[in-house]
Amino acid sequence: MDGGSFVFHDLAPGEESFRDAVLAGLSGDPKALPCKFFYDARGSALFEEICRVPEYYLTRTEIAILEAHAGDIAAHIGPHARVIELGSGASRKVRILLGALDAPAAYVPVDISREHLRGAAAQLAEDFPDLPVIAVCADYTKPFVLPQLPGRAGKRVGFFPGSTIGNFEPEGVVSFLSHCAALLGRGGEILIGADLKKDPAVLTAAYNDRAGANAAFNLNLLERINRELDGDLDVAQFRHVAIYNEAKGRMELYVESLTEQSARIAGARFHFARDELIHTENSYKYAIPEFRALAARAGFRAVDAWTDRGELFSVQYFRRE
């Protein structure tokens, strides 16, 4: 593979997977929708808007940590690494990492949002002309097979920023990191962004911004159902709800039905009671020792960790045992 090339592999689940998940989730009691389906092209763009609102500290804080400690992180990684970013989105943060690394052998962005991934990966390949970019459209939360990657000497290094790890249940974190261990192979390492526990008021504000970016992102899941599954949900009759569950150490996101109503989706009829909540996401917050304990169960040893001065967020580095 020549330097600066761009290759796209499409392993994404199709409409049937989305359809099955929605029909099963809305048939449950309580109703729920998987958060991984937030990220169609519109949802990915809306998430970028969330990252820019003042209340949402996560993105700017993680970027500041990466910028401040890029040299230390690169020293841990070493030369000729193949960087595999899970949930790559706009591939913004990885630019900081790639710019600090010594002759990285390849960058592999993996994301479920096909068109968003294609555009972001093509732009990064243009901006890093000496770096092979191998984009993989896949549901990275489940096992998948990586294509053949260039470079034999460097290790595989996972990059999972953005606190997406908090969307998994704690046992799911162990399962996901076990999948990462298999993906990265012997000697593999992973850099993970994890949100820290803090004042509930700060958390609640971050997920209920005044501009309504979080609300638009959450409700877009209903709009996606209408667009892709021939749904007739009246999205105006639902509202965004985000609350902090202190006992479980997590933010919980829902869409709430404002009235008693029904809708047809993919040929099936669903009823929604007034004030009924449809669960869309959890976002767990961890103290560093808590998260290290989960990673250890998946076979990863803690190497280093970095936080901001306010201890709002952490970037943690692990090596496979």
Q: What is the DSSP letter of 196?
A: P
Q: Is the pLDDT of residue 167 over 90?
A: yes
E strand map for 235-308: 238-245, 250-257, 261-265, 268-272, 277-284, 300-307
pLDDT tens readout for residues 170-218: 999 999 999 999 999 988 999 999 999 999 999 999 999 999 999 999 9
Q: Which residues contact 276 (CB under 8 A, 6 or more apart)?
A: 30, 31, 256, 257
What is the spatial distance between Cα 110 and Cα 91, in angstroms, rounded to a whole number?
Answer: 10
Q: Decide if pLDDT at 14 tops 80.
A: no
* pLDDT for the residue 4: 58
List the one residue out of 306, 299, 252 whose CA is nearest residue 279: 252
At 249 the pLDDT is 97
- Closest to 115 measured CA to CA, from 137, 133, 93, 94: 137
Q: Give the closest residue to 299 by CA, choosing from 194, 163, 184, 195.
A: 184
- Over residues 48-70, the mean pLDDT reads 97
Q: How confident is the model at residue 15 (pLDDT cuts 50, 70, 90)?
A: low
Digit-coded pLDDT (tens) for 221-245: 999 999 999 999 999 999 999 999 9
pTM of the model: 0.91
Percentage of residues in the chain having pLDDT higher than 70: 98
Is a pLDDT exceeding 70 seen at residue 2?
no
C-beta separation of 194 from 165 below 8 A? yes
Closest CA to 89 of 133, 137, 18: 137
Residue range 35-47: average pLDDT?
A: 90
pLDDT tens readout for residues 89-120: 888 899 999 999 999 999 999 998 888 899 99
SS3 content of the chain, % helix, strand, coil (to 5): 40, 25, 35
Assigned CATH class of 6-10+54-198+287-320: alpha beta
Q: What's the confidence (pLDDT) of residue 150? A: 87
Give the residue extent of every domain in the chain.
6-10+54-198+287-320
What mean pLDDT is predicted for residues 42-64?
Answer: 95
Q: Is the pLDDT of residue 316 over 70?
A: yes
Report the pLDDT value the prediction gives residue 1, as an integer from 0 to 100: 41
Sign of CA dihedral 111, 113, 116, 119: positive
